[in-house]
Copies of this chain bind each other. A is one copy, B any other.
Amino acid sequence: MSKSRMEAFSDGVLAIIITIMVLEMKVPHGDQLADLRGLWPVFLSYVLSFMYVGIYWNNHHHLLQAVHRIDGKILLANLHLLFWLTLVPFTTGWMGENHFAALPTAIYGLDLLAAAIAYFILSHGLLKRHGQDSALAKALGSDFKGKISVVVYLIAIPLAFVHTAISCGLYLAIAVLWFFPDKRIERALG
């Protein structure tokens, strides 16, 4: 089974998610700086989510590069990942409009956690089909970033009810961690 349509469909969904998120930033009616200022939290949450969706696209791209075989279960695991990512515009909008209030910030983290788990299921499903000696296995290695992300989300979510700045700082830290291009996969493929 060809992986190209799965890539094309995922590219499409991710491209649309990243673009419709901006629709949550409603055009203000006034034309003054004060009108823009009210949009800060929505803008910040947009930037954070843009980074995350960009990272997922980037990692998905890298992951699929090393893949030779896909089947029906992989297509489902991919749809499962896309499901949690399609909720990002909603969780982003809710967090932004409520100025990073506790519950919306926790729910945002829950969505990131669910997407991280879905990505883990997808990548390990692929790993099982390619074997421990495959380029994919070498590329994923110990999947340190994937594991640390899940741990950090699990810490950040309850902390939203202590202070949301801590949770947002942790979400941002994970985004920055991933933003450094993944040398392992590039090296293993190179």
Number of this chain's copies in the complex: 4
Contact A72–B58 (Cβ < 8 Å): yes
User: Could you tell me the distance in whole angstroms from the C-beta of A121 to the nearest C-beta in chain B?
Assistant: 15
Contact with B along A1-27 (1 / 0, CB 8 A): 110011111011111111111111101
Query: Do residues B86 and A181 form an inter-chain contact, with CB atoms below 8 A?
Result: no
Give chain B nearest CB distance to A43 CB in angstroms. 9
With A54-B79, A94-B28: A65-B11 Cβ-Cβ less than 8 Å: no
The answer to whether A89 has its CB under 8 Å from any CB of chain B is yes
Q: Can you name the residue of chain B whose Cβ is closest to the Cβ of A101? A: B31
Q: From known contacts A12-B11, A16-B15, A97-B27, infer whether A22 and B86 are also in contact, taking CB-CB under 8 Å.
A: yes
Q: In the assembly, what is the distance between CA of A42 and CA of B24, in Å?
A: 18
Q: Are B94 and A2 in contact (CB under 8 A)?
A: no
CB of A118 within 8 Å of the partner chain? no
- Interfacial chain B residues near A19, Cβ < 8 Å: 13, 16-17, 20, 86
Stretch of A102-110, A133-141, A145-153, A167-175 with 4 or more beta carbons under 8 angstroms from chain B: A102-110
Chain B min CB distance to A94 (Å): 5
By a CB distance below 8 angstroms, the chain B residues around A30 are 98
A186 touches B11 (CB 8 A): no
Q: How far is the CB of A34 from chain B (nearest CB, A)?
A: 10
Report, nearest first, the 8 A-B pairs whose CB atoms are least far apart: A72-B181, A12-B15, A31-B101, A31-B98, A16-B19, A27-B93, A54-B79, A13-B15
